[in-house]
Amino acid sequence: MNIRVTVDLERKGDIKKLLERVLRNMGQEAKVKVGFPAGKASSDIIAIATYNHEGTRGGASGGGWGGPIPPRPFITQALFKGRGELKQFMRAEARNILLGKITPKQALPRLGIWGQQQIQAQIRSNMRPKNSPVTVRLKGSDRTLIDTGRMLQSVTWAVE
């Protein structure tokens, strides 16, 4: 006797809950962290990313070249812009897990790589606001969020 299970993900709505339930039922509760996970990124890069994402008041607060850094929420923007693509990706991965084509252990790294690429693309996008004339002169470039490239290269992911 064959049993066929069909899940219409379009009508279920909350893909995240579905994927969490699948992982829980498989005894493999796990999550993927994307950006600058502790243990994968150095503390100085985490500080640089935080200052750039959240902004600073400048001076003694740790602002760029002594002045304030305006907030450029590159992680938030990357995931916001990619939310439609993320939903499609999650649907496909959940469907493949339910069909037994892949395991959650295979899906989570692929999700991490996707997130890493989204964040790196946002960093490269030259986000507004523009660098101040002082920053451009000192840095030698008008590219926002990129100075040496260390932060860009440090974007990564980790499965926990």
Cα distance between residue 134 and residue 140, in whole Å: 10
In a domain, 45, yes or no: no
State the first-to-last Cα distance of the chain, in angstroms, to the nearest integer: 39
| Mean pLDDT across the chain | 83
Asked if residue 44 belongs to a domain, the reply is: no
Measured N-to-C along each axis, helices 83-98 and 104-124 cross at an angle, to the nearest 10 degrees, of 170
pLDDT tops 50 at residue 6 = no
Instruction: Look up the pTM and report it.
Output: 0.79
Domain contains 131: yes
Summarize pLDDT for 29-47 with one digit per residue, the tens: 678 899 999 899 999 999 9
In a domain, 151, yes or no: yes
The band of 57, judged by pLDDT with boundaries at 50, 70 and 90, is confident
**Cα-Cα-Cα-Cα dihedral of 118, 155, 133, 66, to 10°?**
140
Instruction: Flag whether 49 is in a domain.
Output: no
Nearest to 103 by CA among 15, 12, 22: 22
Q: Which pLDDT value is given to residue 126?
A: 96
Residue 83 lies in a domain: yes
Tokens of 115: 């997130």
Q: Where in the sequence is the domain holding 21, given as residue range(s)?
A: 13-37+72-159
The count of domains in the chain is 1
- With respect to residue 52, please indicate whether it lies within any of the assigned structural domains: no
Asked whether residue 18 is domain-assigned, the answer is: yes
